[in-house]
Structure 1
Amino acid sequence: MIRAGRGGVYAPSWLERGVIGIGWDFDSADIAAMDREQIRTAYGQAHPGDSKGKVAAGVGQVYRFAHDMTTGSTVVMYDPESRLYHLGVITGPCVAVCDMDGVTYTRDVTWGETAPRDVLLPSSKNSLGGIQTIFAVSDEVMADLMNAAKDKSAVASNESAIDDNDATNDEETLAATYDNGIELIKDRVNQLDWEDMERLVAGLLKAMGYCARVMPKGPDGGRDVVASPDALGLESPRIVAEVKHRKGAMGAPAVRAFIGGLRAGDRGLYVSTGGFTKEARYEADRANIPVRLLDLDAFVRHYVEIYDKTDDDTRSILPLTRIWWPA
């Protein structure tokens, strides 16, 4: 398993280019030709201010990428936007690159099947939320992934104080724990019914300072939630939100119809827990009226950021617990 950057930021690029990558900087040195101690020395020279624990964690991860991951190995990468685990086979050696922001070494991968997160066992979801950038996936979790792919991790841990295979630094652990928490919240959102999802969107807008209300169902389609700065709905900007709580990405025709129903002075918000196609995003980008599309990942991240300002009714729909972390 390899994490595609915080929040899976590199996932679309890796899928398009057929690669995986890491971002540790070694001044383009050939890390595939180095043993563990040589990598440790090079890491220390490139990052002289890092603590002993952080160096150990980095060295272990880099060594795995350069040596443990071999041609023919199966690799798993998660894309949080689509909520799919992508399974691939490594087809090339570890090479230094300079054309990807934040990535300094890549390996070629032939991507194949995908496994939806929603159909995995809870134990598999927890295992795949490992805190390291690269870690081994257990046979049981791999079998669950393969079964999920057909139907559409546990990290080996030693109790040594600082072991290259399982040591992590606070920054990496915090980022991985946050991302795993986001995925667990997304799992919970997918369990809500459509009425609660509409109320949740209204609650988000209220927490942002708007007076928002869920609209009664009727012939005025595409107006599930309406929000404005004042309680009477007379002040601008007025936000009109459509909420689609279902599997499957919304396409360009649906977004185009939504935009066509907006009035002068409106601002459009389209929330789709199933995501959007590229064509749908293009429709929103070229609209004459400001329109924002929120997929499940973007909605949950906004909700987490604004949660402290939400009212009791909103929190009753999707309650969260704050986790304190040492600074």
Structure 2
Amino acid sequence: MVSNPTVWGVHMGVHVSDRPIEGGYVGIGWLAMGDLTKIGASREAFKTALVAAYPDKKTGAIPVDAGSMFKFLHKIKADDIVVYPSKFDRMVNIGRFTGKAIYVPDDHDEYPTHQKVEWLGHFPRDEFSQTALNEIGSFLTMFRVRRHANEFLRKVNLMGDGTTPDAAAAQADAQDDIADDDTATVSATIQAETSTSDFVIKRLMKELSGHQFEELIAHLLECMGYTARVTPKSGDGGVDVIAHMDPLGFQPPIVKVQCKRTTSQTSRPDVDQLLGTLGDGEYGLFINLGSFARGAVELERNRAKLRLINGEQLVMILFENYANLAPRYRVLVPLKQIFVPDLTQE
């Protein structure tokens, strides 16, 4: 075992499911370039191939993307460590690279160039310092984790010796990371949004009990136009909040809400319990601060009366209704408005 392993960060898209975790790999895309393993083992070769495949790519982004591809295919070594922050479930996945890169063509895989990984652990984001999360929030697809490498290594019972790479290697990596102004702007926007989500979720976890979290959810629903009440602490049958549009709650639809103040994954049996409480004209809403297992997500797709809200979605609902929150909740989660580029309008 390497005493001071190199720690890499890898980003994949927000729409990637748990396939990399179950399949034991991380991957990169650039589909128009085909099999990246056939490109010559130099940064210049990747730059040339990138320009040929994407002639409209901005000049400043070429060395950045080419550098990411070159590192992924030719700098990673067996026993190096990978930190993969998966966007779909807000987990930080840490593993060990096992061998060389391979090309796995698949119509359903946007990231067909794989590096095989032995996963060592999967952790909620709130178990890491915010500065460590900021470092792995890099806008790059492939990057070195330097400042907080030991924090990630300790989570999987590994520990480096604290040394840093030589200056020449660090400078070569830094040169690849230079981006144009537009790319840097996108990076700043994503970083601001991610950091704010991390802050909100950590505050809710730290400052609220389970019952207080239920009260917050009821209040949010009232801000959205519902009449909501929290059920008694015991004997709720898996239903924590009941919401309805008419003041007395006699007219359907009735929304039964289960709240789970956790940043881990919620399993399908937990969601099944909520479904079991529904009668005619009743709908189920399950809210947590983490994510949902694949079985629960598949269940939602097949049940028109079920909606799952994960931590990221809950934060967005809180943002949308922040101006209407009661003062005690604005004190709990103190935010101020800033303006960032709207990437959806690109």
Aligned to 2:177: 165
Give 1:1-327 correspondences, 5 Å limit. 1-6=9-14, 9-10=15-16, 12-30=18-36, 32-80=39-87, 81=89, 83-95=91-103, 97-138=105-146, 141-150=148-157, 163-167=175-179, 169=183, 170-171=185-186, 174-175=189-190, 177-191=192-206, 192-217=208-233, 219-246=235-262, 249-273=265-289, 275-278=291-294, 290-304=305-319, 306-307=320-321, 310-313=324-327, 314-326=329-341
For the 8 Å contact 2:124–2:290, the answer to whether it is kept is no
Q: How big is each residue's C-alpha offset from its partner over 1:148-197, in whole Å with a ceiling of 9 and x where there is no partner? A: 2349xx9x99999x942242614455345434443333222322322331
For the 8 Å contact 1:21–1:105, the answer to whether it is kept is yes
Q: Distance in 1 between matches of 2:216 and 2:86?
A: 24
Structure 1 309/107 Cα, relative in aligned 2: closer, same or farther at 3 Å? same
For the 8 Å contact 2:290–2:311, the answer to whether it is kept is yes
Q: Distance in 2 between matches of 1:10 and 1:282?
A: 15
Question: Deviation at 1:77?
Answer: 0.9
Question: Deviation at 1:235?
Answer: 3.0
Aligned residues: 319
For the 8 Å contact 1:259–1:268, the answer to whether it is kept is yes
For the 8 Å contact 1:227–1:238, the answer to whether it is kept is yes
Length-normalised TM-score, structure 1: 0.80
Q: Distance in 2 between matches of 1:148 and 1:142?
A: 10
Structure 1 83/230 Cα, relative in aligned 2: closer, same or farther at 3 Å? same
Q: How big is each residue's C-alpha offset from its partner over 1:207-249, in whole Å with a ceiling of 9 and x where there is no partner? A: 4332223344454443322211222223321111121224665
Question: Deviation at 1:55?
Answer: 2.2
Q: Distance in 1 between matches of 2:123 and 2:263?
A: 14
Q: Distance in 1 between matches of 2:123 and 2:284?
A: 32
Q: For structure 1, which segment, 179-188 or 272-281, has the greater mean C-alpha deviation from structure 2 after superposition?
A: 272-281
Q: How big is each residue's C-alpha offset from its partner over 1:57-116, in whole Å with a ceiling of 9 and x where there is no partner? A: 222222222222234422111235263332222422243634344224222222223445
Q: Distance in 1 between matches of 2:275 and 2:324?
A: 28
Structure 1 87/230 Cα, relative in aligned 2: closer, same or farther at 3 Å? same
Question: Deviation at 1:19?
Answer: 1.6
Kindly, what percent of the aligned residue pairs are identical?
25
Q: Distance in 2 between matches of 1:326 and 1:113?
A: 35
Structure 1 311/219 Cα, relative in aligned 2: closer, same or farther at 3 Å? same
Which consecutive residues of structure 1, in runs of 5 or more, have no partner in the other structure?
none
Question: Deviation at 1:136?
Answer: 0.8
**Structure 2 counterpart of 1:258, which letter?**
L
Which consecutive residues of structure 2, in runs of 5 or more, have no partner in the other structure?
1-8, 159-163
Q: Distance in 1 between matches of 2:60 and 2:321?
A: 34
